């Protein structure tokens, strides 16, 4: 079963994404704290990482850059400021695979995820 890891500090969003991906047949690891998630995704990289861009404790860009040092799997950023995050990562020469602006469509996110990995 394909593992998708979601790191999202908004618990309602995290729960709805987890349920939607599970309904599609994915195994989902869900975290609301990036500091807890980071060591786990480095040790056991998911097939797809969905990452909120702005979170308390550790910014999504910092999570992404640390993750990229060890893992090359696809990453989708989910953020109200997705354009800003995309510009910053492009300028750093380390772009993510996709960027989805909040508020988002779960259907759109599932469709995009299937472009990278199948359940």
- Residue-wise burial string across 27-64, b where 16 or more C-beta atoms lie within 10 A, e elsewhere: ebbbbbebeebbeebeeebbbbbbbbbebeebebbebb
Mean pLDDT of 85-100: 73
pTM above 0.95, yes or no: no
The residues spanned by each domain of the chain are 31-81+92-119
Evaluate whether 52 touches 8 at the Cβ level (below 8 Å): yes
CATH of 31-81+92-119, picked from 3.40.605.10, 3.40.50.2300, 3.40.50.150, 3.10.50.40, is 3.40.50.2300
The string of pLDDT tens digits covering residues 7-54 is: 999 999 999 999 999 999 999 999 999 999 999 999 999 999 999 988
Tokens of 20: 């939607």
Tokens of 93: 């020469």
């Amino acid at each position: 079963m394909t593992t998708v890891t979601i790191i999202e500090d908004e618990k309602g969003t995290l729960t709805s994404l987890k349920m939607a991906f599970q309904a599609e047949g994915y195994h989902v690891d869900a975290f609301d704290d990036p500091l807890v998630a980071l060591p786990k995704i480095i040790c056991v990289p998911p097939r797809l990482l969905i990452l909120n861009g702005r979170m308390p404790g550790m910014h999504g860009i910092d999570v992404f850059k640390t993750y990229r040092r060890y893992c090359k799997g696809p990453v989708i950023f989910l953020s109200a400021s997705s354009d800003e995050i995309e510009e910053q990562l492009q300028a750093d020469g380390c772009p993510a695979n996709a960027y989805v602006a909040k508020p988002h469509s779960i259907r759109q996110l599932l469709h995009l995820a299937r472009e990278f990995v199948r359940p």
